[in-house]
Chains A and B, each alone.
Chain A
C-alpha cells in the first residue's frame, strides 16, 4: 500500500522558518520525482516545488524561490521542504506527492497545515 505522510506543520511567526517532512512507503522512492503542492484556505491548489530522484534538479514556483528549499533523503525514503522567511501568504495546507512527467502527482499525502501569523 502506498503511503505518504506529511509532518512538521504548525504555527510560525512571519519571518520565521519551518521544515516539513514527508515519509514515503509503498513505491520505489529513490526512482521517483517528488513534489510539494499547497492550498491556502478558500483557494486552489498551487504547485510549489519538485525534485528529481538523485536530488540534483530542483524547481520552484517564483513566489518561493530563494526562500524555500526542497530536498530528499533516499536512504530514509523521505522528502523535505525547508521554508524560510515565511509570510502570511504562505499559510496553507502543504501536500507531498509523487510527481510523474505526465502528472504533478499520482500518489498524495493527506497534507500538513502551516499557519504564518503573529
Chain B
C-alpha cells in the first residue's frame, strides 16, 4: 500500500499543456484499468476528473485527458486556465477492493 509517485509540482502558462505522471506497480496501476484523477482545491471537496484511465465524468471539459502505459498513468491538461491551478491526485484500484492514492501534484498557472 505504498503511495503512487507523482511529481511534486508542474507549471505552465495559460493556453499551454501540462502532463502529470503517476507511477505505481503491477499490483495497482499496471494491473488494472481503474485509474482515476482528482482535482483538489484546499478546503474544498476533491473533484473526480478522470476515471477508468481515460473517461471523463459529465461536466468535465475535454481539456482534461488521461492515459496509461505499463505501470505509469498520466493526466494531461490542455489549454491551461487560471482556474486549473490546484492539487491533482491519481488513484488506482489495488486489488481486494482497496485503493491507493498518488503523492499529489501542485499545478501552477504562471
Residues of chain A having any CB pair with chain B under 8 Å: 33, 35, 37, 44-47, 50, 52, 57, 59, 61-62, 95, 97, 99-106, 108-111
A105, B40: Cα distance in complex, Å:
13
Given the known interface contacts A44-B104, A102-B52, the answer about A57 and B38 at a Cβ–Cβ threshold of 8 Å is no
Given the known interface contacts A102-B51, A103-B36, A104-B36, the answer about A50 and B97 at a Cβ–Cβ threshold of 8 Å is yes
Distance in Å from the Cβ of B67 to the closest Cβ of chain A?
15
For this complex, into which size category does the number of interface residues on chain B fall?
20 to 34
Report whether B97 and A57 are in contact in the complex, using a CB–CB cutoff of 8 Å. yes
Residues of chain B having any CB pair with chain A under 8 Å: 1, 3, 34, 36, 38, 40, 44-48, 51-52, 55, 57, 89, 91, 93, 96-104
Beta-carbon nearest neighbor of B48 in chain A:
A106
A57, B3: Cα distance in complex, Å:
23
Report whether A47 and B45 are in contact in the complex, using a CB–CB cutoff of 8 Å. no
